[in-house]
């Protein structure tokens, strides 16, 4: 194929969907990974209308066998991934740790940490052999500023940030690049999933603020991925103008 190949996880909605479109606009062909095939097929039509190719890949990141089969399970022309965007992630609930459900912890850590590590491990050998590649991990300001009720999610994102930093050190003698992009409040399905479909509770998270939109984060991903080969953006933190920390948010209009 005449353009680079990007693989984006969590591509059926939110930041992942917007990132797939943003990367396609930069000329990348995209392997779009998510569980919901119907959404991926709708997205593929949009990407193909832009003159780029997209491979919908219905895959559950908790399916260890499916992850271990990559990239060999992809069609041959899609295996040489240049940019891996580890975007998929979730939080479940906002209970204190003492009231948490270990089954929820397993799902969060399996998706946010283990799947990221395995997918990175599976694609890195090819990148090293080709002497080109970029790992972009979607983190959160929660990695840097934990908050009550988010212990497990914050821990998962702190692990992502530590993994990113360590991997950058391990790859320092190679042309490969590693980046962590850590957003604050982004208006997506994140809170709806966290609160198990409680739309009213999810809506309150974003009430009376101008949160980041998925496209804002996607543009950051695409910008980082398209810097000259000698430029590495190691870490990027972005928040809406009304957010100073994970818990300090101004709601309503700014004072005159």
111: which 2 tokens? 């998706």
CA angle, 68 as apex, 70 and 110 as ends, to 5°?
115
β-partners of residue 180 are 137, 235
Catalytic-residue membership of 153: yes
Tell me how far apart the alpha carbons of residues 253 and 97 are, in angstroms, rounded to a whole number.
35
Tell me how far apart the alpha carbons of residues 231 and 226 are, in angstroms, rounded to a whole number.
9
Which helix (H) or strand (E) segment is 232 a member of?
A: none
Sheet (strand 134-138) strand order: 54-58, 29-34, 5-9, 83-86, 134-138, 177-183, 235-238
241: which 2 tokens? 């103008």
Tell me how far apart the alpha carbons of residues 5 and 96 are, in angstroms, rounded to a whole number.
41
Catalytic entry in 28, 78, 105, 153: 153
Cβ burial 196-212 (10 Å sphere, 16+ → b, else e):
eeeeeebeebbeebebb
Residues with catalytic roles: 153
């Amino acid at each position: 194929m005449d353009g680079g190949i990007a693989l984006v996880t969590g591509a059926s909605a939110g930041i992942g969907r917007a990132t797939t479109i943003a990367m396609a606009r930069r000329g990348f062909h995209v392997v779009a990974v998510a569980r919901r095939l119907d959404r991926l097929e709708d997205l593929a039509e949009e990407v193909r209308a832009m003159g780029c190719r997209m491979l919908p890949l219905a895959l559950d990141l908790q399916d260890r066998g499916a992850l271990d089969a990559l990239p060999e399970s992809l069609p041959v022309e899609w295996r040489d991934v240049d940019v891996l965007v580890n975007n998929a992630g979730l939080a479940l609930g906002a209970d204190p740790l003492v009231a948490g459900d270990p089954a929820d912890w397993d799902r969060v850590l399996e998706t946010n940490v283990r799947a990221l590590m395995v997918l990175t491990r599976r694609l890195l050998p090819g990148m090293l052999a080709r002497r080109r590649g970029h790992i972009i991990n979607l983190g959160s300001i929660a990695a840097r500023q934990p908050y009550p009720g988010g212990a497990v999610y914050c821990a998962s994102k702190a692990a992502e940030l530590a993994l990113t930093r360590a991997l950058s050190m391990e790859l320092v003698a190679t042309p490969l690049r590693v980046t962590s992009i850590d957003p604050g409040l982004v208006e997506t399905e994140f809170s709806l999933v966290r609160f198990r479909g409680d739309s009213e509770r999810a809506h309150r998270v974003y009430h009376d603020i101008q949160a980041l939109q998925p496209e804002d984060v996607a543009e950051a991903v695409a910008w980082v991925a398209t810097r000259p080969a000698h430029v590495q953006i190691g870490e990027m933190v972005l928040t809406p103008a009304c957010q100073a920390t994970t818990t300090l948010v101004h709601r309503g209009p700014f004072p005159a």
